[in-house]
A = this chain, B = another copy of it.
Amino acid sequence: MMNEDSIIAKRPLGELIAEHLKQDIYNQKVKFGERLIEADLAENFDVSRSTIREALKILEQEELVTSKARKGTFVSEFTERDLDEMNELRLMIEAKAFVKALKNLEEPHYQDLQSIIDEMKEEAENGNWNALFDLDMQFHQYVVNMCGNSRIIKIYESISVQIRVYLAHLDQYYSSPVSFYREHKELMEALLHKDTVSVERKIKNHISFVEEKLVRKTDSE
């Protein structure tokens, strides 16, 4: 009668470790290009190498690490070129997903989104970039999840994690947290009006904002 996944779902160890490692990557406890040695990880996490291998396979799937046969697995290095690729892909997917999501967004969803936006405002005022990025991810993923295409959702998940990691590793951002927040506020309004054209334009703006304003030092400032 109370057999169902008792609060803490009993997931395989490998998955838990994979998540832990992902956090470590977010927090730069392991850096780009760093080699991950199975035996060491096994000792640190106090599990067998088989389990570590499973965890690494999961991370590899999300492209957070890359492994070459018999050469080892390394934390993926994201260059600016990679960011370009990611953004191109992201733009394509997100533009489509958002428009499709419009058909499915109902009142309760808008409330959820609004509360994310509200949190963003707070974190923006505190200048807390890391929290801001997490909320950003939540916001976009939430909308994409409403698009109705499970494959699009899955791909977006993967790509957004990568972008998240990329941003986390930057040591400086060339824009203010508040304008980052304002971006989302405008996007939210376009969603509320169910204005397809406007939504597409805003998405496009938003992504180029990340690329050009946030990451690169532009002259026009």
Q: Which residues of A contact B (CB under 8 A)?
A: 10-12, 15, 50, 53-54, 57, 61, 69-70, 85-86, 88-89, 92-93, 96, 149-152, 155, 159
Residues A12 and B88 in contact in the complex (CB < 8 Å), given A50-B50, A57-B54, A61-B61: no
Residues of B within 8 A of A89 (CB): 149, 151-152, 155
Q: Which residues of B contact A15 (CB under 8 A)?
A: 69
A-B complex: 8 closest residue pairs judged by Cβ atoms = A57-B57, A85-B149, A61-B61, A85-B151, A89-B151, A12-B69, A92-B96, A88-B149
Q: Which residue of B lies closest to A95 (CB)?
A: B92
> Which single residue of chain B is at the shortest CB-CB distance from A89?
B151
Q: Are B88 and A152 in contact (CB under 8 A)?
A: yes
For A159, list chain B residues within 8 Å (CB): 151
A11 and B151 contact, CB distance less than 8 A: no
Docked Cα-Cα span, A100 to B159, in Å, equals: 20
- If A54-B57, A88-B152 are given as contacts, then 15 extra A-B residue pairs at C-beta distance below 8 Å, sorted by A number, are A10-B69, A10-B70, A12-B69, A15-B69, A50-B50, A57-B57, A61-B61, A85-B150, A85-B151, A85-B152, A89-B149, A89-B152, A89-B155, A92-B92, A155-B155
